[in-house]
């Protein structure tokens, strides 16, 4: 009931790198614009692992990770108008924002300075219930299962957004670095935009699946020398890798006016050779998730083009096995926890 504190079961990390344990957490009060969701499935994003390991220095323990949530609305605040009890909905990385700033009003809540992340400083979707702001809750198209929809809510929108921003078009040459949860969705999106897609991977055994997802070329690299053969080739290199890139070689692989856009990694410092940027009018950028407008566009685009993740489903009793698999880069390609 609104205003009353409620406990819910959750799978909680108590300290840096610790396995999750079943416990209870207090849900925040249900505010007037909030929705309470009974969680059915939640994707396991590498950001959850970064948070468990405190790779970004922002984690507050104890907390339940999880931010690719699909569930059913179990309660709504008194000002909620677009969603009702029983609706199937999804939530991604964002669960709160001011709703009034220029960014929120233009549907780019991911730039709001009062944004709240679903599992930073609070608990997320590896729990029986979550409460989030209505404007960051999304209706899920019919015809896609809870488990297949979940990874779109963070992984999907994160890689869709830069493809829109850089106006990718047929025949553009796009490289996706890292074929993991985000990377395998990025390949499918870029292919659906009509681009020539190359996967740049450290794992030779992913070649066949990269081609199945839509890549026309697979570059396996073990050291920088492997990359030097591809100078001047790509209009956009989208990096979803969890490790730093060898910047000189990656900038060398860009065509004139090309961009390396980074969405993945730990909080590291890059040494970027400025002369290499100037010479080819090249750019380096970052990108964070997407606001509600991008999310709705992505869900519609994915449904229309039949884009869905390749998943491994785990019962919640095996949540720590799923984290171990992700840590070892053995997930193919997104783990989804059934709650
Ligand atoms: P993931 O499933 O673990 O995939 C990451 C991929 O990175 C791996 O599959 C691997 O691909 C590659 N990789 C791993 N170790 C590497 C190394 N030492 N050198 C080069 N490549 C390596 O992770 P994910 O869930 O896709 O997330 C990827 C990154 O995006 C994470 O850092 C996550 O925090 C971040 N992320 C950012 C946003 C955002 O808004 N910017 C949103 C969601 C996630 P290969 O085996 O093919 O090399
Ligand atoms: Zn994520």
Given the DSSP bridges, would you call strands 196-201 and 173-177 parallel, antiparallel or unpaired? parallel
Residue 4 has what pLDDT? 63
Q: Which of 56, 76, 160 is nearest to 117 (CA)?
A: 56
Q: Does the beta carbon of 294 sit less than 6 angstroms from any atom of ligand 1?
A: no
Q: Which of 56, 48, 295 is nearest to 159 (CA)?
A: 295
Q: Does the beta carbon of 65 sit less than 6 angstroms from any atom of ligand 1?
A: no
Neighbouring CB atoms inside 10 A of 13's CB total 26
Angle at 71 between CA 117 and CA 110, to 5 degrees: 25
Q: Which of 36, 71, 63 is nearest to 47 (CA)?
A: 63
* Long-range pairs of 84-90 with CB within 8 A, sequence gap ≥ 24: 87/139, 88/139, 88/140, 88/146, 89/35, 89/37, 89/137, 89/138, 89/139, 89/140, 90/137, 90/138, 90/140, 90/149, 90/150, 90/152, 90/153
Strand residues in the chain grouped as ranges (E): 6-12, 21-27, 34-44, 69-76, 88-91, 94-96, 116-117, 129-133, 138-139, 173-177, 196-201, 217-220, 234-239, 254-262, 283-286, 311-315, 334-338
Residue 245 has what pLDDT? 85
**Ligand 2 center to 11 CA (angstroms):** 17
CA distance 91 to 244: 29
Residue 247 has what pLDDT? 85
**Ligand 2 center to 148 CA (angstroms):** 15
Split at pLDDT 50, 70, 90, the class of 225 is confident
Q: What are phi and psi of 130, to 5 degrees?
A: -135, 155
User: Which letter does DSSP use for residue 243 in this model?
Assistant: S
Split at pLDDT 50, 70, 90, the class of 206 is very high
Tens digits of residue pLDDT in 163-197: 999 999 999 999 999 999 999 999 999 999 999 99
Pocket test for ligand 1, best of 264, 290, 295 (most atoms within 8 A of CB): 264
Residue 266 has what pLDDT? 83
**Which tokens is 127 given?**
């729990």
| pLDDT higher at 52 or 223 | 52
- Closest C-alpha residue for ligand 1 atom 19: 243
Residue found under tokens 């994707």: 43
Q: Which of 312, 273, 267 is nearest to 286 (CA)?
A: 267
Residue 96 has what pLDDT? 95
Residue 182 has what pLDDT? 98
Q: Does the beta carbon of 319 sit less than 6 angstroms from any atom of ligand 1?
A: no
**Ligand 1 center to 51 CA (angstroms):** 14
Split at pLDDT 50, 70, 90, the class of 224 is confident
Rounded to an integer, the average pLDDT of 308-322 is 98
CA distance 284 to 258: 9
- Those residues whose C-beta lies under 8 Å from the C-beta of residue 119, and which sit 6 or more positions away, are 48, 51, 63, 64, 65, 66, 67, 125
**Ligand 2 center to 264 CA (angstroms):** 10
Residue 3 has what pLDDT? 52
Tens digits of residue pLDDT in 6-46: 999 999 999 999 999 999 999 999 999 999 999 999 999 99
Res 321 pLDDT > 80 = yes
Q: Does the beta carbon of 329 sit less than 6 angstroms from any atom of ligand 1?
A: yes
Half-sphere exposure of 137 (CA within 13 A, CB side): 26
* Helix-helix angle 292-304:155-165, to 10 degrees: 100
Res 100 pLDDT > 80 = yes
Q: Which of 289, 232, 283, 271 is nearest to 115 (CA)?
A: 289
CA distance 105 to 135: 11
CA distance 127 to 94: 16
CA distance 104 to 108: 5
Res 1 pLDDT > 60 = no
Res 276 pLDDT > 90 = no
Q: Are the beta carbons of 49 and 323 closer than 8 angstroms?
A: yes
Q: Which of 241, 250, 239 is nearest to 282 (CA)?
A: 250
């Amino acid at each position: 009931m609104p205003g009353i504190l409620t406990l819910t079961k959750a799978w909680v990390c108590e300290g840096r790198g610790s396995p999750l344990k079943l416990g209870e957490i207090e849900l925040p009060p249900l505010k007037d614009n909030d929705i309470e969701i009974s969680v059915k499935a939640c994707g396991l994003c590498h950001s959850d692992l970064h948070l468990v390991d405190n790779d970004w220095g922002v984690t507050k323990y104890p907390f339940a990770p999880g931010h690719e949530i699909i569930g059913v609305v179990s309660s709504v605040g008194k000002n909620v108008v677009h969603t009702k009890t029983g609706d199937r909905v999804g939530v991604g990385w964002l669960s709160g924002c001011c709703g009034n700033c220029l960014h929120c009003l233009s549907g780019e809540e991911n730039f709001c300075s009062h944004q709240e992340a679903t599992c930073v400083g609070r608990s997320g979707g590896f729990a029986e219930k979550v409460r989030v702001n209505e404007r960051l809750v999304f209706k899920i198209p019919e015809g896609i299962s809870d488990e297949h929809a979940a990874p779109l809510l963070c992984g999907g929108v994160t890689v869709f957004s830069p493809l829109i921003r850089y106006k990718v078009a047929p025949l553009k040459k796009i490289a996706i670095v890292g074929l993991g949860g985000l990377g395998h969705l990025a390949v499918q999106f870029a292919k659906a935009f009509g681009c020539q897609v190359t996967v740049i991977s450290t794992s030779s055994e992913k070649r066949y699946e990269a081609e199945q997802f839509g890549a026309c070329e697979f570059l396996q690299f073990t050291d920088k020398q492997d990359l030097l053969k591809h100078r001047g080739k790509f209009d956009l290199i989208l990096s979803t890798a969890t490790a730093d890139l060898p910047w000189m070689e990656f900038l060398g692989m860009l065509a004139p006016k090309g961009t390396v856009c980074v969405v993945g990694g730990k909080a590291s410092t890059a040494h970027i050779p400025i002369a290499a940027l100037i010479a080819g009018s090249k750019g380096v950028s970052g990108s964070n998730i997407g606001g509600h407008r991008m999310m709705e566009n992505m869900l519609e685009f994915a449904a229309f083009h039949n884009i869905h993740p390749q998943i491994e489903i785990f019962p919640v009793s095996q949540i720590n096995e799923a984290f171990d698999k992700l840590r070892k880069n053995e997930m193919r390609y997104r783990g989804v926890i059934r709650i």
